[in-house]
Each structure stands twice: as C-alpha cells, then as structure tokens.
Amino acid sequence: MDSVSRDKLKKRSIKRLFNSFKYALEGIKYAFMYEQNIIVHTIVAFLVIVFGIIFKISYFEWLVCFMLFGLVIATELINTSIEAIVDLICPKKDPLAKIAKDTASGAVLVFAFVAAISGLIIFIPKILSLF
C-alpha cells in the first residue's frame, strides 16, 4: 500500500465517532431550521402519537407508525441533501437539475402518501368504532 492510499484511509476513533453524531445532528438541525416540510411531517407525527394514545393502537400499529415516521423524515433529509448538492453543482437553472430536485421531492411525497394511507388504515376502524 503506498503512502497516498494509506493517508486516505479513515482512522477509527472515539472522537471521530462522536463527531459523526455531532454532524448528523447539525444536519437535522439545519433541516428543521430551513425546510418547512420537515416541520409538517413532525407535526403530523406528533398528532399520530396523540391519536395513537387516545385510540390505544396495538404494538404492531405503533411499530408501523414509527417506521413510517422515520422513513418519511429520513427521505426528507435525503431530499434536502440532494437539493443542496444540485444547487452547489449547478447554481443556474438547468432542466436536469430540476429533474433531480423534483424526483427527490417526489420520493418524499410518495413516502408521505403511503404513510397517510397506512395511517388511515390504522385509524379509520378505530374512529368508526366510536359510532
């Protein structure tokens, strides 16, 4: 192994591990400060938690809800990173940049739509049982 490839190897350390968490939290903080959709997803997640408690949803239903919360918010974070990369690489309007940003945004919309349908499947029977 030559000296260049050895220098490029990432060394493992506790400091590097803690820094990776710090940088991840900075990314999440950025998204909450500048991306309005992540706030909407978080409010919806909070409301689902409240209604889940009220309607006493099952363990499996909680599992589904939390998996969907995580997937929607993670997809929103990935969308934010894709938008930032596209803006960095292509500061001028470009049809391919638009496609990249729009399809990344579309991925979030698909996950949010699936989460909403799943929520309806979980909660509608519980709401209807009140009548």
Taking only Cα atoms into account, the Rg of the chain, rounded to an integer number of angstroms, comes to 20
Interatomic CA distance for residues 32 and 38, integer angstroms = 6
Please count the CA atoms within 13 angstroms of the CA of 127 that sit on its side-chain side. 8
Whether residue 26 lies in the annotated active site: no
Structure tokens at 30: 């950025």
Amino acid letter at 63?
A: L
Rounded to 5°, the CA angle 18-19-22 comes to: 90
Full 3-state SS string of 11-44: CCCHHHHHHHHHHHHHHHHHHHHHCHHHHHHHHH
Q: Which one is catalytic: 26, 35, 61, 76?
A: 76
Active site residues: 76
